[in-house]
Structure 1
Amino acid sequence: MKAKIIGAICAAAVSAVALVSVAAEQGKEGGVISVKASGIPHSALFGLSFDAGTGVAVGINGSVLTSKDGGETWAPEKQDATDLALLAVARRGTHTIAVGQLGTVIVESAPATWKKIDAGTEARFLSVSVNTSGIAAAGGEFGLLLGSNDGGETWASIAPNWADYADANVPGTGEPTVYAVYVSEAGAITVAGEFGLILRREPGSEAWRVLNPVTGGTPTIFAIHIPEQANGNSYAVGQAGEILISTDNGARWFRNKADTTSNFLGVAVAPGGRVVITGMRVMAASSNGGINWKFIEEGDTTTDWYQAVRTEKNTGQVMAVGHAGRIIRING
């Protein structure tokens, strides 16, 4: 990670930020955290996706777990396509794609049947997204950014000339790691990552538009939420408590940095203005679209890590995956 941690909050930060602790006893009826699955200490899960009530989680050693009931119960799914770590997964419509170490890409070619795809790279993938039309994007280390128009069956580079977006004053900013990607139903592709990078490519275009510039010394962005409807808030979270919020579909961002030096790794939005952020020994939630935040301090949220966090749209429930093969529901 080449980006440096900064400690100052910019002048655009929301002055009304309130960060307090949620005191709740682990396992207590009505608590914030409900554990839905758990494995051995080293059975980490990194990726999570839901569509139409079906969930898929992926992790170490090519592990795949699936849920048919909106995340209430989970079962391991055997796959022989790879035993390398799967670091991200995306499911939309008939398309399910998982990516990971050494350029690994696997697609679900039929229910519970996975096949390996040659993506033409051995670089590590860290993120993937797909829409119902099969338009997909996958990002990873050192500027890796590939696109697919057939649900992940074939891939080609869609990376810009990163040198054109580098910070001229900071050497090494010309190949930013891409930690987050999102493909909208219309086909717009938004990517985010190192040095505060956020770019977008509109449907039918090959040009990338800067939503947040690469700037040396700014926190890395590890996760984004981009709403399908332009009138919803966009969120970007990352290194050292970084929280960026946009109310105009990414045209402008303001910082609402949390009072933590821990890294935020995931963000999800649920109905009613609820936002949940997961991370390394930290978890935070807002009930009003990110104006005010509370830290969730229950169970292992302050001692371990949760990475991907998603909302199951049928129920509005927020689920996350992380250390020790754990899958949790984060109750509102």
Structure 2
Amino acid sequence: MAVAARKAGRAGSGAANKPNSNKAPAKNAASNSPQFDKDQDLSAYNEMLLIRRFEEKSGQMYGMGLIGGFCHLYIGQEAVVVGMQMATIEGDQVITGYRDHGHMLACGMDPKGVMAELTGRRGGLSKGKGGSMHMFSKEKHFYGGHGIVGAQVSLGTGLAFANHYRENGNVSLTYFGDGAANQGQVYESFNMAALWKLPAVYVIENNRYAMGTSVSRASAQTDFSKRGLSFGIPGEQVDGMDVRAVYAAGQRAIEHARTGKGPYILEMQTYRYRGHSMSDPAKYRTKDEVARMREEFDPIEQVRRRLLESWKLSEDELKAIDSRVREIVNEAAEFATHDPEPDPSELYTDILL
């Protein structure tokens, strides 16, 4: 279920959170949504629905004790990575933090391999040794999955430097959250990327809460698209709940970076429906707030409506899509619960001294 257009080349406490911390996604001139054709809407719907159903299943398996350690779900933010991947070409790289399952799936990584890694099995994409936060795929140009807040920004900048040095025409996409945006190494990376005009796109997934602290309580500058201005890095705010707006912004940013103009920042204004991790009850926000975001801005429901109203698909056709996606996810879960665990000798492999 890879994104067709891609192949064509084309994170405290919260009771005192300020009211503006959960404002609606941006709908300014820079994020006006282009029109998708039927194939684009269908592709986006399939990709986002796969991520949604996969993450729902992951949450269930975590609750059953089949997934250990930390587990951060991407539910609600699906339009960001799907829209961005639609704007990439073969060879462009992706790197992100620990809320990473959706990015893996959007890059085309096997759902069975992703789920098996979550359960610590041999067939996992890191041989069962990385877990939820540390998966990689050289084949799919996916460089993790990183558990250290903000660490991926420096590494993603390094990927962009490698592209610049090799003159291969590829762009590095580095994803991080509003909480990570306050890390010092982020700005060291910005400086280097701007100084050498590296082909880097920094995608800030602003889901309103860095763990449990709202943006307005943690950041003096809450317009994250402006975080690179002192380095001369352009940026824009994007409605991260609308896959079409994400795709359009992704095209602009990637073209800017690919043509030698240097790095670009995209602030995706999005929202996570679940807690920061599976152990987070999310008491820092109201149930009404989450319900309102689901009802008014859900990224999958927006595409679903277009498929029904604009492209005249029937409810039965959409149910069939959902059924196929659930089958893929169920097969992944079945594989991940029956695949053998790694041999203890694997503790001593893949170690660099």
State the TM-score, normalized to the length of structure 1: 0.33
Structure with greater proportional helix content: 2
Structure index of larger Rg: 2
State the TM-score, normalized to the length of structure 2: 0.32
Higher relative contact order at CA 8 Å, sep ≥6: structure 1 or structure 2? 2
Structure with greater proportional strand content: 1
